[in-house]
Amino acid sequence: DAGITQSPRYKITETGRQVTLMCHQTWSHSYMFWYRQDLGHGLRLIYYSAAADITDKGEVPDGYVVSRSKTENFPLTLESATRSQTSVYFCASSPPPRGDTEAFFGQGTRLTVV
């Protein structure tokens, strides 16, 4: 199916564990993004990628690692999960963000760290 998909949709993990959230898009968009959504903060950019093997930090990158070996995949890893990382995580993709480029979002992953 065409689109952008995230997995898992829900995840509960323990403090200190490593967890990876997956994101896959079928449009061959060059740009991909990871956001976290917390009440009262809207969407905050964690990391983004302009192309395969090119990644850059966003507003709140601490505690997260990303990689992009293929254009269509952009996994987000929490190396040692903390309770403050309990959030809803959204992946998005878009053509190069110059001009009127729409960002397409996945359905989100709700992560709970206990």
| Residues engaged in binding another protein (CB under 8 A) | 40-45, 48, 58, 90, 92, 97-100, 102-103, 105-108
The per-type count for the chain, helices as H runs and strands as E runs, is: 0, 11
Minimum Å gap between C-beta 72 and another protein is: 17
3-state secondary structure of 19: strand
Instruction: Output the smallest distance, CB 43 to another protein, in A.
Output: 4
Integer Cα distance of 87 and 89 in angstroms: 6
If the CB atoms of residues 14 and 39 are measured against another protein, the closer one turns out to be: 39
Closest C-alpha to 68, from 32, 37, 113: 32
Q: Give whichever of 50 and 52 is closer to another protein, judged by the CB atom.
A: 50
- Measured CA to CA, the distance from residue 72 to residue 12 in angstroms comes to 26
CB of 16 to another protein, least distance (A): 29
Nearest to another protein of 79, 102 (CB atom): 102
Q: How far apart are CA 77 and CA 27, in angstroms?
A: 23
Would you say 108 or 113 has its CB closer to another protein?
108
